[in-house]
């Protein structure tokens, strides 16, 4: 034997069930929005990191100062410079044919190669790069080659003028 529902109780039950379904739908919608916001925050964090990295990557620096102040950072930057030489500069034979095995021993050559690297990064790897920056880089290639030829011109593939001046061998 069932007890009859008081008047209006069935209608109230249907109303409550409908409201619970609406709350469930809202919860799903809120979960989706929260997930999308989380992805947006991650993307923004990546953008900020790239922007900060771009600014840092193109900020001129002096190797001896950096090596004294932060040897780990200097090593990290040196690895990036070497990677750039191996992967990008290698295509610019006008420059690479002027590099001698001893170029790293010549502070002026290191400064020229570093400046070329920073200029290339500014032209091709920053969010604020303009088309003109790439043109400027291309126009600077002969100048970089000339500078290296001047600095390293007395060095050969198997001898370094600095070593000869200092009385050693290389």
- pLDDT tens by residue, 84-139: 999 999 999 999 999 999 999 999 999 999 999 999 998 988 888 899 999 999 99
| Rounded-to-10 torsion of CA 54, 49, 32, 27 | -150
- Report pTM: 0.65
Q: Are 98 and 154 within 8 A, CB to CB?
A: no
* Distance in angstroms (rounded) separating the CA atoms of residues 4 and 135: 87
Give the percent of the chain with pLDDT over 70: 81
Q: Running DSSP on this structure, what letter comes out for residue 6?
A: P
Q: Which among 65, 58, 159, 55 has a CA at the least distance from the CA of 107?
A: 65
* Distance in angstroms (rounded) separating the CA atoms of residues 141 and 40: 40
Helix H or strand E encompassing 170 = none
Calculate the CA 128 to chain-centre distance.
Answer: 13
Helix H or strand E encompassing 128 = none
Q: What is the pLDDT of residues 19-52, one digit of tens each?
A: 878 877 788 877 777 787 777 767 755 655 554 4
Q: What is the pLDDT of residues 140-160, one digit of tens each?
A: 999 999 999 999 999 988 888
Q: Which among 45, 165, 39 has a CA at the least distance from the CA of 102?
A: 165
């Amino acid at each position: 034997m069932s007890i009859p529902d008081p008047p209006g109780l069935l209608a109230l039950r249907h109303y409550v069930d409908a409201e619970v379904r609406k709350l469930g739908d809202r919860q799903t919608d809120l979960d989706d929005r929260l997930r999308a916001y989380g992805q947006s925050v991650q993307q923004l964090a990546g953008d900020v990191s790239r922007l900060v990295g771009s600014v840092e990557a193109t900020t001129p620096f002096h190797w001896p100062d950096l090596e004294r102040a932060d040897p780990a950072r200097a090593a990290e930057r040196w690895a990036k410079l070497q990677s750039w030489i191996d992967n990008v500069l290698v295509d610019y034979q006008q420059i690479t044919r002027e590099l001698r095995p001893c170029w790293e021993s010549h502070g002026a050559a290191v400064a020229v190669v570093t400046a070329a690297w920073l200029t290339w990064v500014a032209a091709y790897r920053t969010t604020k790069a303009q088309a003109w920056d790439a043109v400027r880089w291309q126009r600077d290639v002969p100048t970089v080659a000339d500078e290296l030829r001047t600095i390293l011109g007395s060095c050969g593939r198997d001898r370094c003028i600095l070593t000869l001046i200092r009385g050693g061998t290389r």
